[in-house]
Structure 1
Amino acid sequence: MEKSKAMKRDSIATARLLSEALPNIQRHDGAIIVIKLGGHAMSSPEAMKSFARDMVMLRQCNIKPVIVHGGGPMINSMLEKLEIPTEFVNGKRVSTPETVDVVEMVLSGKVNKSIVSAINGQGGRAVGLSGKDANLLVCEQAAGDLGMVGDPVAVNAKVVFSLIESGFIPVIAPLGTGKNGETFNVNGDTAAGAIAGGLKANRLLLLTDVSGVKDADGDVLTNLSAEQVSDLTEKGVISGGMIPKTQTALDAINDGVRAVVIMDGRMANACLLELFTDYGAGSMIRA
């Protein structure tokens, strides 16, 4: 009897939460949400299953997710197996032609298709592609001694729009093509920001393994303007690995994205928490 009462209380609480989520669901009706997937959300089959279920729920609510994924640990593992040395400069992988071949194999193959399979397994309709398909991401070689690392200079958003409008969830590997047909390795955050800008997305969610942008006292700043981000960077409050993420956010906003959230992907149902509740899950940056 006590178990039955507890289940009833849980069911009532669930119904109340769904009812309270309605205004947020309505606010995002028809919205394109680009999500950079990486870190904890890709760390286990359970985490991937939970993420996939959330993406299907978003699509069911007429929210249009576009997923751009990373895969650094998987790339490292394959390079070790093949005994190909890896070099990093300022935290970025030096991509020799041999390394790029492995990166493309891992990202466009195993990682991309595992995400697609997870979403389809939850009743969704996911389609995998890379930035090379239909010249989605046209790149130039990045500055520095990084080899075949690319910076996006053009985005062919038509291919993504066509998938979205056909009811699919695009899952994109961060690779790009050069003007002469070269293959470029593209940073996952950078690729997500460029694609979000090309789509003029309503929101870009950067799933990370940190709780968000923090102030000098270590507290998470939940709402920031682009000007505040620049000021905090100049003062050294935003530093280290957070700088490229906030720069991606600023670039995306300059390209027409309405808001960027640097959020904690370690939290269960982080995307639903951010979009469907007033609590949020990280730091929102607006123009």
Structure 2
Amino acid sequence: MKREEVLMEALPYIQKFYGKTIVIKLGGHAMVDQNILETVIRDAVLLRYVGMKVVLVHGGGPEITAKMQAMGKEPKFVGGLRITDAETLEIAQMVLVGKINDGIVSLIANCGTCAVGISGNDGNLLIARKMEPQRVKVGEVIEEVDLGQVGEIEEVNPKVLHCLLAQDYIPVVAPIGIDRQGQSLNINADTAAAEIAIALQAFKLVSLTDVDGVMDADRTKIFHRLTLAEAERMIAEGVISGGMIPKLEGCMKAVKNGVEGAHVVNGNRPHNLLLELFTDEGVGTMLTL
């Protein structure tokens, strides 16, 4: 397709999305590969300049693990879930808020616009409670595991985000929440992004990850469009499994609560974010009612 045809295909989407809010969850390899992250940030800034209100929510699991190991603390996982004791939470805050968040804000500044980095603690953005023990499979046995200082969101107070968006800032949110006693808790970034999208009544939620989208059981076909009913059936039948389940569950909850479309997109491929939003076919998976 010629460049001018690409631009004309994008035009109706740019018109439709103008003034609307989009929440983008940054995850996967983009969080450890600076070149990929810079490309994604440039795309997000472009969305801001064509009139969208952009909120970024980021994870940082691999960097947390690397920092723990560098400090001589071995990460502990049970059934694939991280155990977050007080020291691990302190390291997570250091990495998420002090390093990753600040780095993303700097990249946005380098692209010519302004961002403000916050965590879920700021302005009581994410009010959470400590997660109940989780039933996980360890070997062949189902065990109840206390994940430590891990939270599940009770309430989102988006006032601080509305204030920043009204002043044309891009908010960059680190997924640390606070409970009603003032204790910080680590929050799953996919969950945080979905809850923030709902609270903002966002038009779009996009989860950037390391896979091309929701695929069939043989991993040979991408489902570019899914309804809620189709996604629920695929989870029940085991077609969707592993780490895709929490991503898709966040997308499903967002769509059920008013977000028009939720997308799972491979953030490792240059400009996939733009191709997903501004082309007819898209490149990832879009979930709708």
Q: Which residue pairs with 1:8 in the alignment? A: none
TM-superposed deviation, 1:276: 1.3
Q: Which residue pairs with 2:284 in the alignment? A: 282
Q: Which residue pairs with 2:137 in the alignment? A: none
- 1:156-167 correspondence to structure 2 within 5 Å: 156-167=157-168
Equivalent in 97, 107, 110 of residue 121 of structure 1: 110
Aligned residues: 276
Moved beyond 6 Å, runs of 4+: none
Flag the 1:45–1:216 CA change in 2: closer, same or farther, 3 A. Answer: closer
8 Å contact from structure 2 (residues 224, 281) kept in 1 = no
Equivalent in 237, 240, 251 of residue 239 of structure 2: 237
- 1:263-282 correspondence to structure 2 within 5 Å: 263-282=265-284
SS at match of 2:182: coil
Equivalent in 46, 52, 56 of residue 63 of structure 1: 52
Q: Which residue pairs with 2:191 in the alignment? A: 190
Identity in percent: 43
Equivalent in 91, 98, 114 of residue 80 of structure 2: 91
Aligned-partner Cα distance in 1 for 2:259–2:4: 33
TM-superposed deviation, 1:263: 1.1
Aligned-partner Cα distance in 2 for 1:94–1:282: 32
Aligned-partner Cα distance in 2 for 1:216–1:107: 34
- The answer to whether 1:44 aligns with 2:51 is no
- What amino acid does structure 1 have at the position aligned with 2:129? E
1:203-233 Cα offsets, whole Å, 9 max, x none, are 1101110111112343111111111111111
Q: Which residue pairs with 1:257 in the alignment? A: 259
8 Å contact from structure 2 (residues 32, 62) kept in 1 = no
SS at match of 1:74: helix
SS at match of 1:23: helix
Q: Which residue pairs with 1:102 in the alignment? A: 91
TM-superposed deviation, 1:150: 0.4
- The answer to whether 1:131 aligns with 2:132 is no
- What amino acid does structure 2 have at the position aligned with 1:229? A
TM-superposed deviation, 1:280: 1.1
Q: Which residue pairs with 1:4 in the alignment? A: none
SS at match of 1:161: helix
Aligned-partner Cα distance in 2 for 1:236–1:13: 40
Equivalent in 11, 16, 19 of residue 30 of structure 1: 19
Aligned-partner Cα distance in 2 for 1:141–1:220: 36
Aligned-partner Cα distance in 2 for 1:226–1:137: 26
Q: Which residue pairs with 1:142 in the alignment? A: 131
Equivalent in 58, 62, 66 of residue 73 of structure 1: 62
TM-superposed deviation, 1:110: 0.6
Q: Which residue pairs with 2:227 in the alignment? A: 225
SS at match of 1:245: helix
SS at match of 2:100: helix
- What amino acid does structure 2 have at the position aligned with 1:168? Y
SS at match of 2:9: helix
8 Å contact from structure 2 (residues 23, 202) kept in 1 = yes
TM-score scaled to structure 2, two decimals?
0.92
**Which 5+ residue runs of structure 1 have no aligned equivalent?**
1-11
Aligned-partner Cα distance in 1 for 2:123–2:79: 31
8 Å contact from structure 1 (residues 198, 255) kept in 2 = no
RMSD: 1.4
- What amino acid does structure 2 have at the position aligned with 1:103? A
Q: Which residue pairs with 1:7 in the alignment? A: none
**Which 5+ residue runs of structure 2 have no aligned equivalent?**
134-145
53-62 vs 246-255, which moves further: 246-255
Higher helix share: 1
